Structure 1
Amino acid sequence: MAIAKRTEKPKKPGRQPGSGGVHLAEVATSYIENAIREGRYLPGQRLVEADLAAETKLGIGPIREALRVLAGEGVIDLVPYKGARIRRLEKKDLISILQALKGVGYTGLTLVAEAARQGKDVSALNDAMAVIRMSARRTNVATFMIRVADFHTVVHALSGNDYLDKIAGRLHLNLFHRELATYLPIEDWDGYVGTYEQIAKTLVAGDGDKAVKVFMKHMDNLIARLREEPRA
């Protein structure tokens, strides 16, 4: 899957009257995840609790809980006496995630094509495709890949299956796309965009078999390129 100018930073959450500790921890978790998505926190970067607490104005407690949650999900590593670091994904991790995404993608594309055949409005795919088209060549590879991931988020929403996005969310896609971009620079932007234009076009036409075929070939090509990459 491999950017347009950086998105504007979200407003810092700050304390909210009457908010409980659980809610603040969720806010802190989302803040860190968004920072990874936007490239403000990068793989291998150290996260300092005090700095995060000052930046978000949430306090040490919610930050500490957020770091524990993200460590449990494999997004960060908690190292004794050294604190937290954004996890680095190895090549084998990237291949495993791509393999998992093939399954999620197959289900989503099939369901959306069926919905299109039944007359459901799937024009949001064209809007998502326009964003991909605009971001090609105008941004870095990682952000372009995130725009592609946004296309799949639209697919999940149109599929009618609420679990697809939840499953994809467990695959740490914000971190995944940042790391994948370091391994697979895009040399053929037109080809990459063309692949997704073909997927969008066939989905709108209700041709799930063709959309799945194009998607699977694309994913298999990414996996093959990763396996040829000499780095571990």
Structure 2
Amino acid sequence: MTPPDAVELALPFTGRWLVQNSPASRIPSHGTDLFGTSHAIDFVPVGPDGRSAPRTVASLIGTEDPDTFAGFGRPILSPAAGEVVAVHDGESDHVARRSPLSLIAYALTQPSRIRGGAPAIAGNHVAVRVGDALVLLAHLRKGSVRVRRGQSVAIGEQLGECGNSGNSTEPHLHVQVSDSLAREARGIPIAFGRRDGAWWIPRNGEIVEA
């Protein structure tokens, strides 16, 4: 059941995507209220086999090139009609990390990213104002952002491409709604439209298609 104050969004992509860090499974969904992430959700693009990338030796003991992942470069669409109020591009897409050793090393650098603020956490991103709320789409591919600040966008208009910038261990899309992009921002509940016309919040492990 969706919260009565949830901001209703269209799915901001096409294809198959695996749900992670969903507010339907826990709140705060990302383990913190910082930067308005309490009700954020992550979507990992996957192929027909439900995997984001093939398992290789590098995926077990090292790092991986983001180009080898199924969804790197997939179009990211606007989930709502509104005004673009924030745009950031130019952050590099770093290597992906799925191996235990690489994830431990990455976790040790988390405090420095938090100190770096929104660009360090969200990487390349676009924020669209919908009423009093900001809809953030983060971790976009470097050089892919297609909109500018002050531009009006329609539902389904392409904003950029899925990338691996910012606080990201593999190519994915982070979506959140909040009252600002500041460290102390308040997160706002979200819900997505299904093909049957109902509104829902997909749970961890669910694969959604659009």
TM-score, L = length of structure 1 = 0.22
Larger relative contact order (CA 8 Å, sep ≥ 6): 2
More strand by percentage: 2
Structure whose alpha-carbon radius of gyration is higher: 1
